[in-house]
Amino acid sequence: MINQKQESPIFLEPVMKQMVWGGNRLREVFGYTIPGEDTGECWAVSAHPNGDCVIKNGVYKGKKLSEVWEQNRNLFGGVQGDRFPLLAKIIDAKDDLSIQVHPDDAYALVHENGSFGKTECWYVLDAPVGAKIVIGHSAQSKKELSDMIMEEKWDQLLTSMEVKKGDFIQIDPGTVHAITAGILILEIQQNSDVTYRLYDYDRLSDGAKRPLHIEKSLDVIQIPAKDTKELIRHCADLEADRQNLLVESPYYKVWKCNVENSLEIKPEEPFYIVNVVEGDGLFNQEIIKKGDHFIIPANYETIKFVGKMELILSTVSEKK
């Protein structure tokens, strides 16, 4: 067997996004340089044209993730596809986000210029006591849904669920959802930026309401909604020094690792995305700390984390 040189981990420069509902915790909690006190999103691992991360280190330094995906598919275990499949971002909601829903691949292909649909999941990094997310709705038929939307019976239509730090929530396409003021999450999602805004609390942004997408929302909202209890997992106290699988969806697998001493993984996936959400330590010989985001390319024989830190690992799923 030819002994191939092991590639370095690929560290990424996050892309910051200002949002009407954003805050400053991406600086206060994660230490990033932010463009303003209304910074809502940190696109930490992204090859999307609306925020394509630049590589910070090694031979690919200065290149965009989309270019590396295009030109060096061997790093990603030869995974097929014209676009990098995933996007990891941190979201800081200083204010409530609009109530929204995402299409699936089939709908987005036709109605959004060939974009991917959007399946996403959230790991709650912080939440005020008693915080609630909007998730699901009470309508039992399309007519009921449409009537309640047209009559603006939002209190009756929208359902919510309490969340706390360490909760994990899966959001399938067609699920009505929104995070609310004070919540800080890490989101792992399909590489897509397609969002249909259903309701925006009648807020004004620069003197005008932001556009809604009622027709498309009605097309894609799942009826009836899934039982919200099926969508949440409480994972604040997972077993330390092991790889805890949070979800295996058709698009991604996500794990939480609470490293107390050390964790060794025999790689079984084409590549791993690593988000360091707490603490610091070592990845093999490399120093890593809270706020670092990197990709472990293919052809690692062992992955070893040493230190005291919390990590979210993810990879593309082949379970379609």
Catalytic residue among 25, 197, 203, 233: 197
Residues listed for the chain: 320
CA distances from 320 to 170, 252, 253, 269 (A): 17, 10, 12, 15
Q: Is 233 a catalytic residue?
A: no
**Which residue blocks in 153-236 are alpha helix, DSSP H?**
154-157, 214-220
The three-state secondary structure class of 43 is strand
Q: Are strands 132-137 and 158-162 parallel, antiparallel or unpaired?
A: antiparallel
**Which residue blocks in 196-245 are alpha helix, DSSP H?**
214-220
156 Cβ neighbours under 8 A, 6+ residues apart:
138, 148
Least Cα distance to 56 among 86, 14, 84 occurs for: 14
Q: Are strands 132-137 and 51-52 parallel, antiparallel or unpaired?
A: unpaired
**Which residue blocks in the chain are alpha helix, DSSP H?**
25-28, 65-71, 105-111, 142-150, 154-157, 214-220
Can you give the C-alpha Rg of the chain in angstroms? Answer: 20
CA dihedral of residues 127, 131, 135, 137 (deg, nearest 10): -170
Burial class (CB in 10 A: 0-12, 13-18, 19+), 8: middle
* Amino acid (one-letter) located at 43: W
| Number of neighbours of residue 204 by Cβ within 10 angstroms | 10
Q: Which residues of 218-231 are buried (b: 16+ CB within 10 A; e: fewer)?
A: bebbeeebeebeeb
CB 179 within 8 Å of CB 93: yes
Q: Which positions are catalytic?
A: 197
